[in-house]
Structure 1
Amino acid sequence: MRGVRKVALGMAFSFFILSLGLVYWQVVQADTLLANPANRRLILMENRVTRGGIFDRNGEIIAQTQVVDGKKVRVYPKGEMFEPALGYSSVKLGASGLEGSLANWLLGIKKATPTQAVQQLFALPREGDDVVLTLDSRLQSIAYNALKGKKGAAVAIDPKTGEVLALVSQPSFDPANLDQNWEQMISDDEKRSLQDKLRPLEHRYFSLFPPGSTMKVVTSAALFRSGLNTTDLYQCQGSTVINGQVIPEQNDKAHGWVNYNMALADSCNTYFATFGVQAGDKTFLSVAKGFGFGEKIPFELNVPRSSIVNGDMNPTSLNTNLLAASTFGQGEVLVSPFHMALITAGIANHGVIMTPHIIERVLDPSQNTLFEQKPEPWLTALSKEESDKITSAMVTAVTEGTAAPGALPNVSVAGKTGSAEPGGNVLTHAWYIAFAPSEDPQIAVAVIVENAGTGGGNAAPIVRQIIQEALNQKAGDKK
């Protein structure tokens, strides 16, 4: 009898634990499970839910569900222009990108209206919510076409609000008929050599690259905080030796006597390495952390953390050789184009980096606003005085230095080039960062073109086109 009682108690306890588990997963974690892009239940729900539309900031359709021959079809009018950020939604392939991360809105699950809640409870047909993005199709088109045929990325941000105005990765893919074309797309890329692979699914704006000389805008703050007199002259002789390590200039060019402004404008490696080492590793690391290195960037899509040291997101020290190389964006420094755009935007915004966002608002099927994003600061990387000094040097870089190819008539552009060595016998990555107008910045841009050579020659023209379009069309405004 005692044995039967123990078995009964054991079974009762097991059912109790099971019940707790069911309550936890079905009630407490229900929204989390539904929001997970890997949850195919979201995809299967679309048999009775009409997925909401995705629109750019001016109301242009980016993604929409239409009924064709009695079947729901997801339509992407802009083709591959918004990929891979936009992503896809497929019963066969699952969901990715914004189509995946915004599924709880697009399917009317998050903050469901009373009507949607009743329809969901009784598994009735219903409509999801519409999502309006901060992206501007005009800027996206300029960046997409300028990068077409290349490997690279472009990011444009409103420095005052953190709104992402353009997010382009090339090569990309056409989301139409992806179920049928998937195997062929993957197979075609697998046949290419490692160097020639297109990697169309890769979010290159989130990929990590050595930043090259664009890193000097970060190092600048370390120089200021070390007490460096920025008007003092330094003689650049084409190279220098620090702790037995040769620090060369690009093409061994001797810049002669330069102060801080001209050192940034001419992209003088030896100047930044010499005074960066004098500033010390603690100051440099503190500045880098202040710009978000090692930090999780708050954004609707996952952005890998940038780092100064491989495998250590919060280093407390750097040896002299690594510090010297890091000051001009080599060594082990890795940063994403997205983060580099945020850094540029922070300089433009008097040192304050705003929290980046790509969702502007969400509308229910009756077009009532369910959610609207408000600008919020993320980090204060610089004082206004420090940002003003860097801005002045970046303007000089455009008017008199290596960043001149980014210049625009009658507009004061603040820019910086970068030619980053990725390692191996390949061309450098071409970087260019800029914002404009320098006195009242409306847009900040970062562009990388992989293995393309110099930033001035290959990335600057793309940035110039994006800024020109933004200022001509006032891309931050509605039509």
Structure 2
Amino acid sequence: MRGVRQVALGMAFSFFVLSLGLVYWQVVQADTLLQNPANRRLILMESRVTRGGIFDRNGEIIAQTQTVEGKKVRTYPKGEMFEPVLGYSSVKLGSAGLEGSLADWLLGIKNATPTQAVQQLFALPRQGNDVVLTLDSRLQNIAYNALKGKKGAAVAIDPRTGEVLAMVSQPSFNPTNLDQRWSELISQEEKRSLAEKQRPLEHRYFSLFPPGSTMKVVTSAALFRSGVNTTDLYQCQGSTIINGQVIPEQNDKAHGWVNYNMALAESCNTYFATFGVQAGDKTFLSVVKGFGFGQKIPFELNVPRSSITKESMNPTTLNTNLLAASTFGQGEVLVSPFHMALMTAGIANHGVIMTPHIVERVLNSSQDVLFEQKPEPWLTALSKEEADKITSAMVTAVTDGTAAPGALPNVQVAGKTGSAEPGGDVLTHAWYISFAPADDPQIAVAVIVENGGTGGGNAAPIARQIMQEALNQKVGDKK
């Protein structure tokens, strides 16, 4: 009898654990499972749910569902301009990008209205919700065309709100009739050598790259906090040696006597390495953590974390050589263009990095607002005084330094170039970060051109076009 009782208790316990598991996955995690783009149930629901439209901030259609010959067809009027951020939705291929991450809104599942809940319960045909994005088609078009033919990315953010105004990755792809063209797209990829791969499905604004000299705007805060007098002069002789490691200037150029402003403007590696090492690894690591390195960026799409070392997302120490290289964005530092745009926006916003977002609001079929995003701070990376000092140096970089190609007529621009060594016998990645107007920032931009050479020559003109269009149209202005 005792053995039977133990078996019965064991079975009862097993059923109890199984019940807990079912409750967890079907109740607690129900929304998480339903929102997962890999969940085919979302795609299959579209036989009876008309997926809502996706619009830019000005109401232009980016994606919509139309009925063609009795069949629902997802159409993309802008072609490849919004890819891969927009993504696709297909019964055959599943979903990706915003089409995947916003499927719960687009299918009327998330925060369903009473009518939608009843329709969902009884599997009745229904209309999903429309999503209005913060993206601006005019800026997206400028960035898309400026990057056309290159490999790279551009991100534009309103530093006051965290609204993403443009997000472009090149090369791109056309999502129209993707089911029929998918095998062709993949086979073309496979035929190319590694160096020639276009990788159109890659979200390059989320890819990780060495930031090169754009990192100096971050290192600046470490210098300030260690007590470096920014007016003192330092003699740049074209290179220096720190702990046995040669720190060269680009093309071994000697900048002569420079203070902090001119060191940033002329992009002097030896100045930042010398005083960055003097500031110490603890100060440097504290600063980069404040800018979001090693941290998960809150956003509607998954953004890989930026890092200072390969070994740890949040290192507590750096050896002298790695610290010296990290101060000017080499060593093991990896940053996404998206994060670099955020950090630039933080400097523009007096040190406060706003939480980035790409969804402005969600509307039901009656155009009632179901959700509206409110601007919220994410991190305070700098004090206002520190942000002002960096801004001043970035303005000098545009008026009297390497960032001059990003200048705009009658507008004060704050900018910084970067030429990042990716390793191997290839051209440097060309970076440019900027915001404008410097005294009342309305747009912050980060641009990278893979293996593009110099930031001033190849990335700055793209950033300049984006800023010019934004200021002409007063994009994102809340005044």
The interval holding the TM-score normalised by the smaller chain is over 0.9
Matches within 5 A, 1:375-386: 375-386=375-386
Matches within 5 A, 1:79-90: 79-90=79-90
SS of alignment partner, residue 362 of structure 1: strand
Which residue number in structure 1 is paired with residue 234 of structure 2? Answer: 234
| Distance in 2 between residues matched to 1:15 and 1:331, nearest whole Å | 54
Which residue number in structure 2 is paired with residue 151 of structure 1? Answer: 151
**CA shift for structure 1 position 30:** 1.3
Which residue number in structure 2 is paired with residue 320 of structure 1? Answer: 320
Aligned AA (1:222): A
Q: How high is the TM-score relative to the length of structure 2? A: 0.98
Query: Given the superposition, is the C-alpha separation of residues 290 and 11 from structure 1 closer, same or farther in structure 2, using an over 3 Å criterion?
Result: closer
**CA shift for structure 1 position 2:** 7.4
| Distance in 2 between residues matched to 1:326 and 1:70, nearest whole Å | 59
Which residue number in structure 2 is paired with residue 45 of structure 1? Answer: 45
Which residue number in structure 1 is paired with residue 96 of structure 2? Answer: 96
Contact 2:66/2:74 (CA < 8 Å) preserved in 1? yes
**CA shift for structure 1 position 58:** 0.5
**CA shift for structure 1 position 14:** 4.4
Contact 2:442/2:477 (CA < 8 Å) preserved in 1? no
**CA shift for structure 1 position 15:** 4.2
Query: Given the superposition, is the C-alpha separation of residues 13 and 387 from structure 1 closer, same or farther in structure 2, using an over 3 Å criterion?
Result: closer
Which residue number in structure 2 is paired with residue 31 of structure 1? Answer: 31
Deviations along 1:372-423, whole A, 9 cap, x unmatched?
1000001111111111110000000000100000001100000000000000
Q: Is residue 202 of structure 1 aligned with residue 199 of structure 2?
A: no
**CA shift for structure 1 position 16:** 4.2
| Distance in 2 between residues matched to 1:284 and 1:14, nearest whole Å | 53
Contact 2:273/2:325 (CA < 8 Å) preserved in 1? yes
**CA shift for structure 1 position 453:** 0.2
Matches within 5 A, 1:196-345: 196-345=196-345
Task: Give 5+ residue unaligned stretches, structure 1.
Answer: none
Deviations along 1:355-376, whole A, 9 cap, x unmatched?
0000101111111111110000
**CA shift for structure 1 position 311:** 2.8
Contact 1:138/1:475 (CA < 8 Å) preserved in 2? no
Which residue number in structure 2 is paired with residue 398 of structure 1? Answer: 398
| Distance in 1 between residues matched to 2:392 and 2:476, nearest whole Å | 25
Contact 1:104/1:110 (CA < 8 Å) preserved in 2? yes
Which residue number in structure 2 is paired with residue 174 of structure 1? Answer: 174
Q: Number of aligned residue pairs: give it.
A: 478
Which residue number in structure 2 is paired with residue 119 of structure 1? Answer: 119
Which residue number in structure 2 is paired with residue 61 of structure 1? Answer: 61
Contact 2:307/2:334 (CA < 8 Å) preserved in 1? yes
Contact 2:391/2:438 (CA < 8 Å) preserved in 1? yes
Aligned AA (2:321): N
Aligned AA (1:107): L
Deviations along 1:146-181, whole A, 9 cap, x unmatched?
001100000000000000000000011111111111
Query: Given the superposition, is the C-alpha separation of residues 399 and 98 from structure 1 closer, same or farther in structure 2, using an over 3 Å criterion?
Result: same
Deviations along 1:220-263, whole A, 9 cap, x unmatched?
00111111111111111111111111111101111111110000
SS of alignment partner, residue 87 of structure 2: coil
**CA shift for structure 1 position 26:** 2.0
Contact 1:65/1:73 (CA < 8 Å) preserved in 2? yes
**CA shift for structure 1 position 349:** 0.4
Which residue number in structure 1 is paired with residue 108 of structure 2? Answer: 108
| Distance in 1 between residues matched to 2:100 and 2:439, nearest whole Å | 39
Aligned AA (1:252): D
Which residue number in structure 1 is paired with residue 444 of structure 2? Answer: 444
| Distance in 1 between residues matched to 2:147 and 2:352, nearest whole Å | 29
